Amino acid sequence: MNTQESPLAQWGILKNTKRPVVIAGPCSAETADQVLETARGLKEIGVEIFRAGIWKPRTRPNSFEGVGSVGLEWLKLVKSEVGMLTATEVANVKHVYEALRAGVDILWVGARTSANPFAMQEVADALKGVDIPVLVKNPVNPDVELWIGAVERILNAGLTKVGAIHRGFSSFEKTRYRNVPQWQLPIEFRRRMPEIPMICDPSHISGCTELLQEVSQKALDLNFDGLIIESHRNPKEAWSDAKQQLTPADLGKLLSSLVLRDVELTPSQLESLDDLRLKIDKCDADLLKTLGARMKIAEQIGQYKKEHNITILQPTRWDSIINKMVEKGAEYNLSADFLSKVFKAIHQESINKQSEIMNNN
């Protein structure tokens, strides 16, 4: 791996300050033995921060809801006996107070909690006056405002070591992921809050071990600052999320397979890219001009339809445009999905313009 300073280094708690920071540990703390054995395995592969859920927000009742406060005693042992930093999930005032009292080093807020502004505010209020690092997972639904709002509540409580965790979004449709990554959302989050470190949770995105490597690499290629990955001494026997956990040894292999690409470009790379970027800018300018010209014609059509009292939408004409474009697009190596999205957006804009004209006396 390449050497780059992690923004989490500024939090002053890490020994290894290089990107990517890795947080690992079981989905849930189950027994003292399971916690300590897993932690020792992780320490051995160089992981500094140990995660374990003590209070587990489960989708259905009557599944394992975490061992509760006794697990905090085991996290204390991870600190004192294994020498790792510890992290756990908090979802209410009681969790916050107990975790702080037990000396947990990093708190995270789960996806079901960040989706709920009342719960977020309760957690934020409970944290006033301490400056513990807090990581806020994206809400279960793909709403970047809600995610930003959750982070703002923690910041407004006066905390300064705040990060975000991208764990994917639930969807009704069956996909290859457990939670669809929708990478454009963490990218938009970073555009809006560039100072907040972004950590990827490939475990809850993937839901299985097969996708972990691909998702982790993609996160690094998107310049994420770290990874939080579930690891269990014996994944098959895990009391929660068994399918997505790796042994510490397998996690070690995964981590060493990841490539950290350069963020800083050399002058000659910059020059080559500048060349291509100029060409892209020119294409974009041409696209804009063409779109503008197309919209002008759509407006003339709107005027004509108004004068002759014809409805805006002629569905058969529209179907034939999309089909033609999709067919032609194949020649340019453009996918049907992409083209139908682009042309639907263009069509919608034409309809908006035409209905403005038709309803404007």
How far apart are the C-alpha atoms of 102 and 96, rounded to whole Å? 10
> Which residue in the shown chain puts its C-beta closest to Mn ion?
27
Q: Binding residues for Mn ion, how many (CB under 5 A)?
A: 2
Q: Does 111 bind ligand PEP (CB under 6 A)?
A: yes
Residue 110 touches ligand PEP, criterion: CB under 6 A = yes
- Tell me which long-range contacts 140-145 makes (C-beta under 8 A, separation of at least 24): 140/111, 140/112, 140/115, 140/169, 140/170, 140/179, 141/115, 141/169, 141/170, 142/169, 142/180, 142/182, 142/185, 143/115, 144/185, 144/188, 144/189, 144/192
- Cβ partners under 8 Å of residue 90, min gap 6: 55, 96, 99, 107, 108, 109, 123
By C-beta, is 193 or 205 nearer to Mn ion?
Answer: 205
Among 241, 245, 248, 350, binds Mn ion (CB under 5 A): 241
84: CB partners within 8 A, 6+ apart: 39, 42, 43, 47, 48, 49, 50, 78
Residue 27 is a binding residue for ligand PEP (CB under 6 A): yes
Binds ligand PEP by CB under 6 A, chosen from 137, 166, 232, 305: 137
> Under rule CB under 6 A, which residues in 171-210 are in contact with ligand PEP?
204
The residue range among 23-31, 208-216, 246-254, 283-291 that interacts with Mn ion, by the rule CB under 5 A, is 23-31
Q: Does 53 bind ligand PEP (CB under 6 A)?
A: yes
Residue 137 touches which member of Mn ion, ligand PEP, none, C-beta under 5-8 Å by kind: ligand PEP
Q: Does 27 bind Mn ion (CB under 5 A)?
A: yes
Q: Which positions touch ligand PEP (CB under 6 A)?
A: 27, 53, 57, 110-111, 137, 167, 204
Q: Which positions touch Mn ion (CB under 5 A)?
A: 27, 241
